Chains A and B, each alone.
Chain A
């Protein structure tokens, strides 16, 4: 675990961050442009944002919508995907619908949803839900389809009912694939969260960012980008840890860790 090469691997993302900030700093100093603050200026603005009660409430509201949208999407999409993977009839019913929804950018649906549901929490949460659902359904579907038939037969011989087989064999067997979908879903949740707040400007992290842009507070704009980026990186790292623990039993899929964990 703590061999020099392992340490280097774990520290690599850290160096990448520092490198990126250094390049930014140099570029900004060289360009001397008002709308392009230096990295240090942007970082200095972060405590101001996080210290401000109003901003904090906004950011927490964003996170709450994201958690609810992601949570509901996962709770609905995993069972649906698994059922589709194991039942031809269910797959035939939902496939055409999903194929139509899949390529549509979910944010593009926002104007319609806003007309119906207003610009409040429900609309934004619904867009997050839509953004997260599809990759989770797709990966659950693929995972369930790939479950070895003899494993299900073994379960049937032990007396498991079809529903028990779905929950106690298909679900764990497909878990590595499902969690891959959830990880994509988590990043998409963050993206749709910010996008939705840019379109329906009222509250949230995306709103702070665009208000600052309107008022020409460029250091705040860049600071918000850093904050949102850091949130994404932290969420992904935490999720990756949980994922790795849950599927310890399965074959390692990548030699290189694709996260900051």
Chain B
């Protein structure tokens, strides 16, 4: 594994038939065109290819409007790409499914359900018996630090608490891949750090595949095995960087680790370049 950021050409390659055995998600030459109200075509994603290995924590980093959310929606099956295809375990993705669990930027909790009702919704839909679903959900609610709030409605929760419920609700139905769209973007620094630590603990225990959109460089380096750097207009992959830092990662050790610091500095510089120059065609 490389410590120095690798060139994109080494990673961004068309998916061939002889794919790596452990690939769980393959994005193959995906482009997305949106019709704007000015009746012009807007190329939001241009020829994106990316392979995500099973159990990997992959972050997508890039300036606002570069198509991070759109890429996540395509993997989720919520949006059909204009061209190209995404696959999950070799099967073309044609729609949403419980194997891929989204956590949206907007939380999207069910406001008519309590915290417990929201978290139980997925398992109940999957046919888990009430008592069992409730027990599991209560444990999850405790894990995300909301014990005591089970009977609260979403409108009675703060932003950070809603985010925790959204995470618990998705974890509750055991998706193989978590698709997280700037889940901590709207939180204060302290809550954000806590939730990052919690997410890392959960992930280091279950080793679920995570596709994580963010525009925070330290967050991406702290959490990820791999950081995908995107540029905008049109949205492209500029660089894929392996983050070769030991796990389990402890925040207090990592912040002092020169290797961590170098990743952050290098990626921040790259981010500046991407932001200034946009995409190189």
Could you list which residues of chain A lie within 8 angstroms of chain B, going by C-beta atoms?
A: 148, 150-151, 153-154, 156-160, 169, 172-173, 175, 247-251
A-contact 0/1 string along B64-95, CB 8 Å cutoff: 00000000000010100000000000000001
Check A151–B98 contact: CB distance below 8 A: no
Chain B residues close to A by CB (< 8 Å): 76, 78, 95-98, 100-102, 104, 106, 108-113, 121-122, 125-126, 153-155, 169-170, 173, 175
B100 touches A157 (CB 8 A): yes
Cβ A158 vs Cβ B108 within 8 A: no
> Are A158's CB and B112's CB within 8 A?
no
Contact A159 B97 (CB under 8 A): yes
User: 12 additional contacts, CB 8 Å, given A154-B104, A154-B169?
Assistant: A150-B106, A153-B76, A153-B78, A157-B76, A157-B98, A157-B170, A157-B175, A159-B97, A159-B126, A169-B110, A249-B112, A249-B154
Q: List 10 A-B contacts (CB under 8 A).
A: A148-B106, A150-B104, A153-B104, A156-B96, A157-B96, A157-B97, A172-B112, A173-B110, A173-B111, A250-B111
- What total of A-B pairs shows CB separation below 8 Å? 61
Bound complex: CA of A247 vs CA of B111, how far in Å?
A: 10
State A150–B109 Cα separation when bound (angstroms).
9
User: Are B78's CB and A158's CB within 8 A?
Assistant: no
User: Bound state CA distance, A159 and B121, in angstroms?
Assistant: 11
Instruction: Give chain B residues whose Cβ lies under 8 Å from the Cβ of A173.
Output: 110-112
> CB distance B104 to A175 under 8 Å?
no
Chain A residues within 8 Å of B121, by CB: 158
Q: Smallest Cβ distance from B152 to chain A, in angstroms?
A: 10
Q: Tell me, in angstroms, the Cα distance from A154 to B78 when the chains sit together.
A: 10
Interface centre among B122, B153, B169, by most chain A C-beta atoms within 10 angstroms, is B122
Residue of B108, B111, B112, B126 near A154 (CB, 8 A) is: B108
Cβ distance B80 to chain A, nearest Cβ, rounded Å: 13
Q: How far is the CB of A88 from chain B (nearest CB, A)?
A: 15
Docked Cα-Cα span, A134 to B40, in Å, equals 38
In the complex, residue of chain A having the shortest beta-carbon distance to the beta carbon of B103: A154
Partner pick for A158 among B95, B111, B125, CB 8 A cutoff: B125
